[in-house]
Amino acid sequence: MKVSEIAKTVGKENADVAKDLGIETTQGYWLRDVDDAKVADYLAENGARPSDAKKAEQVVAKFWCTGRSNRIEGDEHTKHDTIQFVEWSHECDGKSAEAELSRKDYAWARFGVAEVIQRPYEDAGKRADFIRFIEALMFTGPTQQDGASRKGHKSALALLTEEQAREIPKNVKNRPLALARAIAEQVSLSVDLS
């Protein structure tokens, strides 16, 4: 069960629950999975039942942006709050107005925003296009012999959740072409990159 689901069940803030459970509040901490036994104990301490947790499940959507720091101002017409991308990514409730706006067809063309889907492309051609897209993020020079840029490397890793990025072996992270394939095996984008 994720930290955000536990917080919703017991009626506390995500940060408070994370602190109680000894989880560091870094980017995406509310998406961390907590051991079932620990969850049951915590829910019992706070007067909630595990069955309450199923009702409180929240769908979290992750969005990636071509810009490292992008701000999409809130709008009364679309009724969404300001969306702030930090280090190329933004996570929000999948049913929110912010998520709805970020999923619109023009979001990619206008803001460079796409939803990160937590499964790879099924079509081999689309997956190959995605791998080339990731490689282009990392290799910003005229040739690949110039090496991958740190900024591009971080941008590519921002496609993954913090937990997914931690699971990639260091020897893969240090080889940009292998990293691009590893990312493409886990996630895809909601836009057509061909």
Q: Is residue 143 part of a domain?
A: yes
Residues 24 and 67 in one domain: no
CA distance 62 to 64: 7
Domain of residue 68 covers 60-117
| pLDDT over 80 at 44, yes or no | yes
Confidence of residue 49 (pLDDT cuts 50, 70, 90): low
User: Would you state the pLDDT for residue 180?
Assistant: 94
Nearest to 31, CA basis, from 10, 64, 3, 58: 3
Q: Is residue 194 part of a domain?
A: no
Q: Is residue 176 part of a domain?
A: yes
Q: Is residue 66 part of a domain?
A: yes
Distance of CA 155 to the CA centre of its chain: 12
| pLDDT over 80 at 48, yes or no | no
CA distance 147 to 72: 32
Q: Is residue 106 part of a domain?
A: yes
Q: Is residue 24 part of a domain?
A: yes
CA distance 58 to 60: 6
Nearest to 186, CA basis, from 117, 114, 119, 116: 119
Q: What is the pTM of this model?
A: 0.66
Q: Is residue 167 part of a domain?
A: yes
Range scoring the smallest mean pLDDT among 55-64, 87-96, 103-112: 55-64
Query: Of the residues 98, 117, 136, which one is the last residue of a structural domain?
Result: 117
Residues 48 and 66 in one domain: no
Cβ atoms within 10 A of the Cβ of 122, count?
8
Domain count, the chain: 3
Query: Of the residues 71, 92, 117, which one is the last residue of a structural domain?
Result: 117
Query: Of the residues 34, 55, 76, which one is the last residue of a structural domain?
Result: 55
Spell out a b/e string for 65-86, using b for 16 or more CB atoms within 10 Å of the CB, else e. Answer: beeeebebeeeeeeebeebebe
Residues 110 and 153 in one domain: no
Range scoring the smallest mean pLDDT among 73-87, 135-149, 161-175: 73-87
Residues 130 and 178 in one domain: yes
Q: Is residue 180 part of a domain?
A: yes
